[in-house]
Amino acid sequence: MKSKLCSVLLLAFILTACGEGKEEALDKEIHALKLVIDQDNISEKNFQEIKQKIDKLADEASHKPRYWVQKARFELVCGYFSLQCKVERRWDKALKAIEQAKKLGPNDVEVLSLSGHILRNINDHESAREDLEKALSINNKHAWANLNYGALMADIGMKMPFKLEDEAYMDRRRNIFKKSLAAFKVVLDGDYRNREKKAALAKCDDVAVWVHHEERLYCHKKAIELDYFDNLKEKAWARGNYALQLLKAEKYSEAKKYAEEALQLMKYPMARKMLAASYLGLWKQSGYKDDSHFHQAFKVYSRNKLDPVFALSQLTLMSDIPFYKKLQEKGIDLNQLDSKGMTLLGRALVFYINDKEKNFDRIKSFVEQLDLKIDQPYVSRPNQEPVYTTPIQAVRERLEKLKERSKKEYFNDHVALNVYTKLYEYFQQRLKKEL
């Protein structure tokens, strides 16, 4: 009896061990399949190998949720290699695969993360959010769950229209972007592969711009620290762009450092302009006492004296009358054109959302205290085919567009309409006095 019992137990152990060995082998095959799909440069040969492996595993591994994850990923990758795949609605096929995976592994973070990605791309944002938030509740450090959640929240935020006069609504919109950025930061600040970090960096600044300027600084600095860019030109531009963001934050010493680094990598005008603007900022920061900064600004950038002035003013000093008066004392004519054909007043006509009604007082002070000409021609579209206008003409055209838009039901720019109405009346009165 004991002998028979031992034999039965031994057989059960062998079968169990064999079963576990088979399951472990299947897991390894599925993982190997994942590694092939993970490659950034999958070749046509690799693609065919993936298809063959998926077909081969279909019978033996169909009970495993991770098999269906790779099946879904295969359907998505397919479109890059086959025109036939592109017309076969691969997102629908991927969705069917991931739904099967969810039945088998409803709490599998890999399953939930990919499900959220697929649902987001077929515009089922509510279901995508449900899956991704469930995934993060299980493992809030999972790289792709965070990346997919960040991308989803960015999409939701982008689809929320502007309602500038509804502060509570705009706060809700901003909070959506904050959640997006927080998810990307988990990856950027954590111990993850470059593949994941680059995916986070690709969207970081696009989201940060809707949150706070300090967050933009974070994204730009991360791109430099993680060596995000592949070639020398892009590495130089990254430092030049970071210098630009630092100037906006009035961090002039740091801006100078990164502008110099950009120029060490590649000599290009924008970096020289940022460096010159940094020196002007340092001159202002010294209380206008250290004239060496002022002279150095135009030594490093001699193309047009107004270029670095406008670069700096457009970023941080668009209401700093004393700064411009000091420039006038140094002999700089603020009514002249920069190298793109723009004037200071032309640039000052922009409507700052946060200033609201104060925009009118700001522009009026510019005109009166700096004696700026409201009929001075300038290029209104400096980065396109040149179209000349004057400040009064530009205000009139802006006012006409706002009046036309105000006839529509969803119009919410009443403050801007009021500002440009008052500004146009003021310009007309001033022009009559000048004549």
Cβ neighbourhood burial of 171 (10 Å; 0-12, 13-18, 19+): exposed
Query: Minimum mean pLDDT among 6-15, 123-132, 205-214, 257-266: which range?
Result: 6-15
In this predicted structure, what is the pLDDT of residue 14? Answer: 42
How many other CB atoms are found less than 10 A from the CB of residue 251? Answer: 17
Fold of domain 44-140: 1.25.40
pLDDT in tens, 219-240: 999 999 988 888 899 999 999 9
Taken in order 350, 306, 277, 361, the sign of the CA dihedral is negative
Kindly tell me if the per-residue pLDDT of 361 is higher than 60: yes
End-to-end CA distance of the chain: 121
pLDDT in tens, 47-56: 777 778 888 8
In this predicted structure, what is the pLDDT of residue 113? Answer: 96
In this predicted structure, what is the pLDDT of residue 304? Answer: 93
Kindly tell me if the per-residue pLDDT of 18 is higher than 50: no
Kindly tell me if the per-residue pLDDT of 74 is higher than 60: yes
Taken in order 101, 104, 107, 108, the sign of the CA dihedral is negative
321 residue type, one letter: I
**Please, where in the chain does CATH 1.25.40.10 lie?**
44-140
pLDDT in tens, 410-434: 777 888 899 999 999 999 999 887 7
pLDDT in tens, 243-286: 999 999 999 999 999 999 999 999 989 999 999 999 999 999 99
User: Are 223 and 238 in contact, with CB atoms under 8 Å apart?
Assistant: yes
